[in-house]
Structure 1
Amino acid sequence: MIVIRSSKPDDGERVVEIWRDAVDATHHFLAPNDRMAIDEMVCGFLPAAPLWLAVDANDRPIAFMLIDEGHMEALFVDPEVRGQGVGAALVRHGLSLQSTMTTDVNEQNGQAVGFYERMGFRRTGRSPLDGQGRPYPLIHLRYGG
């Protein structure tokens, strides 16, 4: 059974660890310099961000989701539990809080694009650059509405 709870201040280190492991497992398209710059940015805000966490039986975070004003800014799952329904459980939790949601996903991350489409998200557009102006195209997705 997957338990979902809000993050606490002492979850910060583990959340960054999940982010790094998940990115290393799925974002092979990132140039090393971009990966380092993004890591620095993420470490500056993620530990204090208001996250939803999926935790194991010992209350250890195994995945997290960040939603800001109806937009899912982040969904990252520890590679050790990927494919076991943890990410889907977080998305369903988010949709239980608000029936309409948007998100963006890197076009080069085909598995993530497929995941969101299987969850019922529809493509609404594409941007040639990521949010920081880097050459990593984004697919814009929307659920509901």
Structure 2
Amino acid sequence: MHVISQIEKQEYQELIEVWEASVRATHDFLPESRILELKPLILDQYFDAVQLCGVREEGRVLGFLGIHETNIEMLFIHPESRGKGVGKALLLHAVNALRCTKVDVNEQNQQAVDFYLYMGFQIVGRSPLDGQGEPYPLLHLELN
């Protein structure tokens, strides 16, 4: 069983490392330049805009979740921890404890799309651009 706890600001540097490793493992459609553009935005702005919690093992963050209201804004798992129930534990925490019912997912990130569909979410819409106005389509999913 995975224990989920709050993330503190002093852990942001570790979180951005998990984010980057996860993105590089799952977002092969993003060019290097885009990853480098996003990294400081996430570290300096986006982490502060969400409620963060994570799963740790021996003091190391294996994965984390960021929510705002009823939206899952970020869910990233370190590649070494994928397939071990960390993402599922965080998603169930978001749904059951934090009452989240919505998530946007990059359409090109098929693994994430499949994960959310498997977990009971349904596609309710699509945007041709991502949240920064870039041409990376988003699927809007909601829990039924």
The TM-score, its normalising length taken from structure 1, stands at 0.92
Q: Answer yes or no: is the 8 Å Cα contact 2:105–2:139 preserved in 1.
A: yes
Q: Is 1:55 aligned to 2:56, yes or no? A: yes
Distance across 1 between alignment mates of 2:26 and 2:43 = 19
Q: Which residue of 2 aligns with 1:39?
A: 39
Confirm whether residue 83 of structure 1 aligns to residue 75 of structure 2. Answer: no
Check conservation: 2:72, 2:100, Cα contact below 8 A.
Answer: no
Instruction: Please list the CA deviations of residues 16-63 of structure 1 after superposition, one character each: whole Å capped at 9, or x if unmatched.
Output: 11001000111110122222111121121255453011111x232110
Find the residue that maps to 2:139 and give its secondary structure: strand
After superposition, residues 1-145 of structure 1 pair within 5 angstroms as: 1-46=1-46, 48=48, 49-56=50-57, 58-144=58-144
Q: How many residues align?
A: 143
Q: Distance in 2 between matches of 1:39 and 1:9?
A: 16
Q: Give the Cα–Cα distance (whole angstroms) in 1 for the partners of residues 43 and 99 of structure 2.
A: 30
Q: CA RMSD of the aligned region, Å?
A: 1.4
1:22–1:79 CA contact under 8 A, matched in 2 = yes
The DSSP-based 3-state class of the residue aligned with 1:51 is strand
Amino acid at match of 1:89: A
Q: Would the aligned equivalents of 1:66 and 1:72 in 2 still touch at CA under 8 Å?
A: yes
Q: Quick one: percent identity of the two aligned structures?
A: 41
- 1:91 counterpart SS class: helix
Deviation (angstroms), 1:10:
2.3
**Range moving further from structure 2, 60-69 or 39-48:** 39-48
- Larger mean CA deviation between 63-72 and 6-15 belongs to 6-15
Q: For the Cα contact (< 8 Å) 2:18–2:76, is it kept in 1?
A: yes
Structure 2: how far apart are the matches of 1:47 and 1:67?
10
State the SS of the aligned residue for 1:116.
helix
Q: Which amino acid aligns with 1:67?
A: I
